[in-house]
Amino acid sequence: MNGNHRPIPFLDLAGIHDAIADDLDLVWHSVRKHGYYTGGPEVDDFETAFATYCEASHCIGVGNGTDALELILTGLGIGRGDEVIVPANTFVATAEAVCAAGARPSFVDVNAATLLLDPAAAAAAITRATAAIIGVHLYGQMADVDALVALARRHGLAFIEDAAQAHGARFGSTRAGSAGIAAAFSFYPGKNLGAFGDGGSVVTSDPQLAERVRTIANHGRAVTDRHRHELAGRNSRLDTLQAGVLATKLPLLDESNARRAAAMACYRTLLPDGYEPLAEHPYAESVHHLAVVRTGARDRATAALTGAGIGWGIHYPVPCHQQPAFERFPAQAPVAEQAAGHILSLPMSPTLGEGDIARICAVLRGVRT
């Protein structure tokens, strides 16, 4: 590591939380005082605030983003015998949730420019068993929900959003979380809105689905009678402390997303030849969860970054359909397969400054491409 420079982390969570340390400490104190450790005012307040933020009517806090997806599918009655279309390029959790609900993932290729679910490929994959399409808003950019929602409607399918990487994103005037029948969010610490541990939510404007998800996630309990268990549900909760942390951070989300956008604009200006940022659809307003570039020199670039004390990641090195866990669901996804060998995620944080980005780009400029 170059001794003159402090390391640049892939994501600067410490910097984000240092700036609001006193407010975060208050959460611990207020939960200790009122004594609700699950449920309680923090959960109610956050659910209301986050539904409003997503321009939807209901938010149900749950244990994590993967549970949120599974609860949506189960709440819609999707399971055994059903197929669910998912992009081949996503975090495995999207497909895992489909399997956990008892359905089969049908992996579909992605658009070559954005690496998001390709509506034409999704249309070609629809069979008589297809019950839903999960559009994943990967890297902070919403999938083409205009085309995907229209496709789902034409075929009588549910359109579900995996918005785990897209808190606050838009496609045209549509906010992430309000495009389909329901959306799953993750509040894993590294997401744009992150807790101090695991958390997630289901966002929907369908009151019946909201009630079913709430019931299933709370031991099958009727929402109006806690001693009546209507079905064998499960336990998936957003803890009170986590909800308090999230409610503290939510008012800062738009500014934090704007700082990410400024960092991405700076990358676009300073990146040397040989590092191509992914394209953004003209209607998309990305929240830049990740700064992904394509490069033919990935191994040399990552070695140079590591040598300079700069964090990096690959999202994701193996497309889902090529993971051992999903090899019984074969797929044709040449675009996702080709991209997996070339994508590189550079540091992205709301605290990332121009000087940091200049340093990162200078290291990349020194790599033979």
- Contacts to ligand PLP by CB under 6 A: 64-66, 90-91, 93-94, 136, 138, 162, 164-165, 186, 188, 198, 200
Whose Cβ is closer to ligand PLP: residue 105's or residue 367's?
105
Taking the complex as a whole, how short is the minimal distance between the CB of residue 115 and ligand PLP, in angstroms? 12
Q: Which residues pair with 87 in a beta bridge?
A: 108
Taking the complex as a whole, how short is the minimal distance between the CB of residue 320 and ligand PLP, in angstroms? 11
CA–CA distance, 213 with 247 (Å, rounded to integer): 21
CB 138 within 8 A of CB 92: no
Whose Cβ is closer to ligand PLP: residue 117's or residue 136's?
136
Whose Cβ is closer to ligand PLP: residue 82's or residue 162's?
162
Taking the complex as a whole, how short is the minimal distance between the CB of residue 205 and ligand PLP, in angstroms? 21
Whose Cβ is closer to ligand PLP: residue 186's or residue 248's?
186
Whose Cβ is closer to ligand PLP: residue 134's or residue 363's?
134
C-beta nearest to ligand PLP: residue: 65
CA–CA distance, 118 with 348 (Å, rounded to integer): 26
Taking the complex as a whole, how short is the minimal distance between the CB of residue 2 and ligand PLP, in angstroms? 32
Whose Cβ is closer to ligand PLP: residue 278's or residue 364's?
278
Whose Cβ is closer to ligand PLP: residue 100's or residue 252's?
100
Whose Cβ is closer to ligand PLP: residue 158's or residue 163's?
163
Taking the complex as a whole, how short is the minimal distance between the CB of residue 1 and ligand PLP, in angstroms? 29
Taking the complex as a whole, how short is the minimal distance between the CB of residue 186 and ligand PLP, in angstroms? 3
Taking the complex as a whole, how short is the minimal distance between the CB of residue 315 and ligand PLP, in angstroms? 8
Terminal-residue alpha carbon distance, the chain: 22
Taking the complex as a whole, how short is the minimal distance between the CB of residue 246 and ligand PLP, in angstroms? 12
